[in-house]
Structure 1
Amino acid sequence: MTNEPKGDRALEGGRVSYDSEADAIGVYFVPDGAEYDSSREVAPGVVLDYDKQGRVIGIELLHVRRLLAQGSSTVTANG
């Protein structure tokens, strides 16, 4: 048994996960030696995770079911 959250999928150099309780998809690509520092919501339902050097190391999409239900609508930086 692993400690990885249910729904994680390994990628070369990263991982993808879905959290059904939070209804969120996360894509994480952590460069060697990177340490998580902070997160910032850059658009409604789009959160970027940063390392201590200011590099993006992850992207989280919130409210995934709602986004999928909207069909062809897209998320933009202006909402």
Structure 2
Amino acid sequence: MTIGHRVFLVTFLVSFSGSISADADTIDDYLRSQMQRLHIPCASLAIVRDGRVIETQGYGFASLELKAPATTETVYEIGSN
């Protein structure tokens, strides 16, 4: 994971951790734009409130070669880039 990816992850988590009042479209648009800007091929998102998962979504491709979409079940290697 590059420094840019870490900064993005921390910024994203801080932006939405205090209040998930932002609607799903806003979160979706922000995540997609940052993935494009930072050249992040895939991501999976889970929003948890009061210990319950309230939203999940996969973005991009888990395998660029196979064009396999990322899902909420995609397994990521720690430190992958």
Superposed pair shares fold, TM > 0.5: no
Query: In proportion to residue count, which structure has more strand?
Result: 1
Query: In proportion to residue count, which structure has more helix?
Result: 2
